[in-house]
Structure 1
Amino acid sequence: MEMQHAMAQPFDLGSGTLIPDADIMETGKVDLSVYTSQERFEAEREIFGKVWLNVAETAEIPNAGDWVVREVKVRSASIILVRGKDMQIRAFHNICSHRGMKLVWDSKGRGGKFSCPYHAWMFDSAGDLVNIPDEGCFSHVSKADSGLTPVRCDTWEGMIFINLDSTGTQSLRDFLGPLADRLSNVPFGSYPYTARVGSMIDANWKLAIEAQCEAYHVRALHARTVSKMLSSRDNPFVHPLHVEFLGAHRMNSVPRNPEYEMSPEKLVQAFSFMNAQQMVIADTGAQEKPEETFAGHPDVNPTGSNLWGNDQFILYPHFIFHVSLGGWWLHRFWPIAADKCYWEAVYHFERPQSLRNQFAVQYSLALNRDTLMEDNLALVQQQEVMESGAKKIVQFGEQEVMCKHLAAVSEAAANDVEAAQIAAE
């Protein structure tokens, strides 16, 4: 299958216009040290402190006073996301103004009040300090000046983003670039039934993202799980149906195998695929109500292909989401160290209407888990031998163009950070 070339575009992460690395885009060759060196990791750590990061969904805190906590360990930051009485979502550093204690230790809750477990200083959903026990001993403390430290926060299509750069001026919309006007009013809310999985991976975060950005490995690594669902006679190496570069971000349409049939010998698998549309890669009943599904949206399946399986959107630096006929799912990859990252995924299904639907959803989640574990186990082996220094470069092919673009954007962003550090010395 012949690959069509997308054109890389300039992008802006808040420091000015950058260009994806031209040599990487042309040759596909990337210095292997970007996956192993501490120097590169430190540059990327700076990037995570300056760009917009997806951390949650608005549906996780639907009511006034609802809150969740998100950890951004690469920045040693813990963030409270809370919906205020005015229904606005705000973000604050999860640290008490008294003596620097971590304010909230649970991962989620409701009520909109935060009492420090150390000395019970109390803050409200607006971040204001509202109570100091034995307040007479703190005559020098100004409540008005001692609220929680705010974090820049905004939303896009039901997704919550934060920016840890308190002096930054770039809006989320500007950061999203060409993607900002895509997927307007996409019916993410039609799939309210969610399941979450996550795992620490002993591998560089970019390796983990790359494993999700190309299907070239499907026939080999996933031969026992999803290979036959995606790899077809006309497209054996699962070349994308469509590719677009969207500034620092990118998308592609992932094909399906139209000839795939579930083996009658695998009764449980066949039953599950008939009853859990989110994982079905063949036609489902979703088209019966196109206005309530992704099938009816003009920005989904842009080529109109009847071989379409799902659209994948990859937002720099760490966020991926897919939309399909019967649901959607997302991944976040959080750097921990040069050779370690945390992966989290959230799967969104239609609400099960029966026990058979519920069983099918659980089975499809297990299949997803098994497929991703194949990726994650391979990543550990990859990172381990990369550390040897035996190879100096990795080489991406045209069917790995999404990985190539990620590498070209990452190279430009890291070089920009390093240039700024040199200029400041």
Structure 2
Amino acid sequence: MPRFPKPPEGSWTEHHPGLGTGPVSYEDSITPEFYEREKEAIFKRAWLNVGRVEQLPRKGSHFTRTIDAANASIIVLRDREGEVRAFHNICRHRGNKLVWTDDPKQDTAGFCRQFTCKYHGWRYDLDGSLTFIQQEGEFFDVDKDRYGLAPVHCDVWAGFVFVNFAREPEQSLREFLGPMVTDLEGYPFGKQTAHFGYTTTIHANWKLYMDAFAEFYHAPVLHAKQSPEKYSSAAQQAGFEAPHYGIDGPHRMVSTSGVRFWEMDTELVKPMEVLTRSGLFGPWDAIDLGEMPSGVNPAKCDPWGLDSFQLFPNFVILIWSQGWYLTYHYWPTSYNTHVFEGNVYFLPATTIRERIAQEMAAVTFKEFALQDSNTLEATQMMLETRYIDRFLLNDQEILCRHLHKVVGDWVDDHEGARK
């Protein structure tokens, strides 16, 4: 029989009295004014993940990232010393966007030894310094040392690249992440370089999609049609009602069990899953990644299925017991739209069968994510009617309650500090 850790005495939510247990408001997800407030209070103050170091394989490698919620476009690069840096993507001459290809509205990536503005040819080194001004003699006592690219605070943890737009961050990246997240150090993120990704625009507030992956209460219902008739009961056996929740500062996590229903009854899986030996839970043939760090499966679920870590504000790392991981990003573009990014990572395949199993897992997760997004757009539409303004959350939805509480606290703290 599967063995699950017992929750603390009483409910999960009641062990965090600051969260309350009453109905909650989603006004923070349907108000243009609040979106403007959280842009200033959160996305210009928190550490934001913008990618991984594997995107910068050598000196001169770079990529750009547009972050609407911070009104920013940045260049992330590896400099001549091998360090990862970030700069605002703007020329110091007339304000042209410095790095772009055919469409300035689209992000790009590449390699160069220096950056040259497309408008008037000003050049910048990889350390951001201004090295060349076209017809420099036409300017008035210009000091190139004073007009390098504007830097953005940048740091790396476990291969994940983070930036912070505050003039001076209130915490270092490590302090901001806290022990629940940093206890993941030692997990082989850097070895899992086989990558599949997708991006789509969702017509719903970013927090509503964060909520969708903060609980498994919805899975046997929402995703039942994706699988055969008996999927709902199998999902419950697999532990969708998660046995462990964790909260640390602004971050949260949920851990659940790993009963492999495809080994119990082949009627519960699709023919394509049998052929590829892969599906929603990833490749069936588990990969041994060695001893896991203390932050993985903190509740010691036996058997263990997955851990989902929500790093405030908009980044999720989901680690699977089968030996792979995925990330989600939720980038706000307005109070009721955001760009959702899903990225799936595996060890590089050594056989064709392994590659097919990885692709099957990536495609299956994309389909499930689209089911979630369709539901959330329906949620957004009805929340905006405001005919009902308070909604019930159960004990399994503690992480949803926590996210909206933290968002409100960050906005209140920021605005209180400015008074």
TM over 0.5: yes
User: Deviation of residue 226 (structure 1)?
Assistant: 6.2
The answer to whether the 8 Å contact 1:128/1:148 transfers is yes
Gap change, CA 1:78 and 1:312, over 3 Å in 2: same
Alignment of 1:304-315 (within 5 A): 304-315=300-311
Local SS of the residue matching 2:302? coil
Aligned with 1:332 (options 329, 334, 339) = 329
User: Deviation of residue 180 (structure 1)?
Assistant: 5.3
Task: Give ranges in structure 1 of 5+ residues lacking alignment.
Answer: 10-19
The answer to whether the 8 Å contact 2:86/2:152 transfers is yes
**Residue type of the alignment partner of 2:142:** V
Output the CA distance in 1 between the equivalents of 2:364 and 2:236: 25
User: Deviation of residue 235 (structure 1)?
Assistant: 5.0
The answer to whether the 8 Å contact 2:13/2:20 transfers is no
Output the CA distance in 1 between the equivalents of 2:255 and 2:233: 14
Give deviations 1:282-312, integer Å, cap 9, x for gaps: 6x4423x524xxxx33321123222321111
**Residue type of the alignment partner of 1:78:** S
Aligned CA-pair RMSD: 2.5
User: Deviation of residue 358 (structure 1)?
Assistant: 2.1
Output the CA distance in 2 between the equivalents of 1:64 and 1:297: 31
Percent sequence identity over matched residues? 31
Which residue of structure 2 lines up, in the alignment, with residue 89 of structure 1?
84
Output the CA distance in 1 between the equivalents of 2:66 and 2:266: 41
Gap change, CA 1:251 and 1:203, over 3 Å in 2: same
User: Deviation of residue 166 (structure 1)?
Assistant: 1.7
Give deviations 1:242-301, integer Å, cap 9, x for gaps: 211111101121223444444498332112235x89714x6x4423x524xxxx333211
The answer to whether the 8 Å contact 2:154/2:162 transfers is yes
Gap change, CA 1:264 and 1:414, over 3 Å in 2: closer
Alignment of 1:172-251 (within 5 A): 172-179=173-180, 181-225=182-226, 232=234, 235=237, 238-251=240-253
Output the CA distance in 2 between the equivalents of 1:354 and 1:277: 21
Moved over 3 A (4+): 1-9, 226-237, 256-266
Which residue of structure 1 lines up, in the alignment, with residue 38 of structure 2?
44
Output the CA distance in 2 between the equivalents of 1:123 and 1:229: 57
Which residue of structure 1 lines up, in the alignment, with residue 290 of structure 2?
290
User: Deviation of residue 230 (structure 1)?
Assistant: 8.1
Aligned with 2:341 (options 322, 344, 347) = 344
Give deviations 1:46-82, integer Å, cap 9, x for gaps: 1111111111111110211111111111122001001
Output the CA distance in 1 between the equivalents of 2:411 and 2:233: 35
User: Deviation of residue 229 (structure 1)?
Assistant: 6.7
The answer to whether the 8 Å contact 1:151/1:162 transfers is yes
Local SS of the residue matching 1:186? coil
Gap change, CA 1:360 and 1:168, over 3 Å in 2: closer
How many residue pairs align between the two structures? 402
Output the CA distance in 1 between the equivalents of 2:136 and 2:266: 69
Pair 1:410 & 2:412 matched: no
Gap change, CA 1:83 and 1:233, over 3 Å in 2: closer
Pair 1:55 & 2:50 matched: yes
Which residue of structure 1 lines up, in the alignment, with residue 137 of structure 2?
136
Gap change, CA 1:3 and 1:387, over 3 Å in 2: farther
Which residue of structure 2 lines up, in the alignment, with residue 27 of structure 1?
21
Output the CA distance in 2 between the equivalents of 1:233 and 1:203: 27
The answer to whether the 8 Å contact 1:28/1:404 transfers is no
User: Deviation of residue 362 (structure 1)?
Assistant: 2.0
Output the CA distance in 2 between the equivalents of 1:237 and 1:396: 19
The answer to whether the 8 Å contact 1:243/1:253 transfers is yes
Local SS of the residue matching 2:24? strand
User: Deviation of residue 236 (structure 1)?
Assistant: 7.7
The answer to whether the 8 Å contact 2:224/2:231 transfers is no
User: Deviation of residue 174 (structure 1)?
Assistant: 1.5
Which residue of structure 2 lines up, in the alignment, with residue 394 of structure 1?
391
The answer to whether the 8 Å contact 1:54/1:159 transfers is yes
Local SS of the residue matching 2:329? strand
User: Deviation of residue 141 (structure 1)?
Assistant: 2.0
Output the CA distance in 1 between the equivalents of 2:235 and 2:400: 24
Which residue of structure 1 lines up, in the alignment, with residue 104 of structure 2?
none
Alignment of 1:105-120 (within 5 A): 105-106=100-101, 107-120=108-121
Which residue of structure 2 lines up, in the alignment, with residue 14 of structure 1?
none
Alignment of 1:270-285 (within 5 A): 270-274=274-278, 279-280=282-283, 284-285=285-286
Which residue of structure 2 lines up, in the alignment, with residue 16 of structure 1?
none
Gap change, CA 1:141 and 1:31, over 3 Å in 2: same
Gap change, CA 1:396 and 1:235, over 3 Å in 2: farther
Aligned with 1:268 (options 266, 269, 272) = 272
Output the CA distance in 2 between the equivalents of 1:67 and 1:21: 45
Which residue of structure 2 lines up, in the alignment, with residue 300 of structure 1?
296
Local SS of the residue matching 1:393? coil
The answer to whether the 8 Å contact 1:127/1:147 transfers is yes
Give deviations 1:388-415, integer Å, cap 9, x for gaps: 1111112211011111111221121122
**Residue type of the alignment partner of 2:290:** P
Gap change, CA 1:233 and 1:374, over 3 Å in 2: closer
Gap change, CA 1:211 and 1:178, over 3 Å in 2: same
Local SS of the residue matching 1:213? coil
